[in-house]
Amino acid sequence: MLDLLLPQRCLACGRTGAQVCAACLGALPRLKPPFCERCGAPTAWPVRRCAECSGRRLAFAAARAAVAYDARVRAIVAGWKEHGLRRLAALAADEVTGQLPRPEVDALAFVPPDRDRRLERGHHPAQRLARELGERWDVPVVAALRRTGAAPRQRGLDVAARRRNVRGAFAAATTVPRRVCLVDDVYTSGATASAAASALRAAGARQVEVVTFARALRLR
Ligand SMILES: [Zn+2]
Ligand SMILES: [Zn+2]
């Protein structure tokens, strides 16, 4: 209630005005090529695999993101999740379509909400981002995945622990088309994206690409 009486502030810098002010919007840490062809990490030159993903079994063909997950972007994504700010999904979708080519796919899928956390958030960023991207790219969105249990918390775990933690966490809710783009708000270690892509492939997808709004950098 009190929120309604207070002036709106920029989620990133706290300045009074828009949810994300023009200065912060202009200064978003947009990711520029070259990238690792596979996991989308920015690299010094184009590579097929990078230090972050070499030797890892990833169920997706390629992952790409629009912006780096730095402190400002983290504050924006947190506001998006906690307050269900609908305009942020549109902002994120504009960034994604401005930065990334439209994927050659038959449908968009999204990392499904965790039953427990959906209540806290009021809405689900990955699902809403998928819907916004589906409109912009003119691709159907399918609710292809479900959680097999409570979503394990990934925060604070290293890559190997994240992978173990999330293995088998998703199952297909429906049959899926051959070429699918999996949408999520943030790519951290790739463990969640890979587990979700693995479930999509088990349900009939032959090619899974991953698109996220933000991407964590330099995680080992
Ligand atoms: Zn700002
Ligand atoms: Zn890589």
Confidence of residue 1 (pLDDT cuts 50, 70, 90): very low
User: How far, in Å, from the CA of 41 to the mean position of ligand 2?
Assistant: 5
- Alpha carbon of 101 to ligand 2 centroid (Å): 19
**Which ligand is closest to the CA of 27, given by its number?**
1
pLDDT digits (tens, 9 = 90+) for 114-169: 765 555 555 688 999 999 999 999 999 999 999 887 656 777 777 777 777 777 78
**Verdict on whether the full-model pTM lies above 0.95:** no
Which one is predicted more confidently, 149 or 70? 70
Q: Which ligand is nearest to the CA of 215?
A: 2
CA of 192 to the centre of ligand 2 (A): 15
Contacts 24+ apart (CB under 8 A), 133-140: 133/93, 133/96, 133/97, 133/108, 133/183, 133/211, 134/108, 136/93, 136/97, 137/97, 137/102, 137/103, 137/108, 139/102, 139/103, 139/105, 139/106, 139/107, 139/108, 139/181, 140/106, 140/107, 140/108
Range of weakest confidence among 83-87, 177-181, 196-200: 83-87
Q: What distance in angstroms lies between residue 139's CA and the mean position of ligand 2's atoms?
A: 27
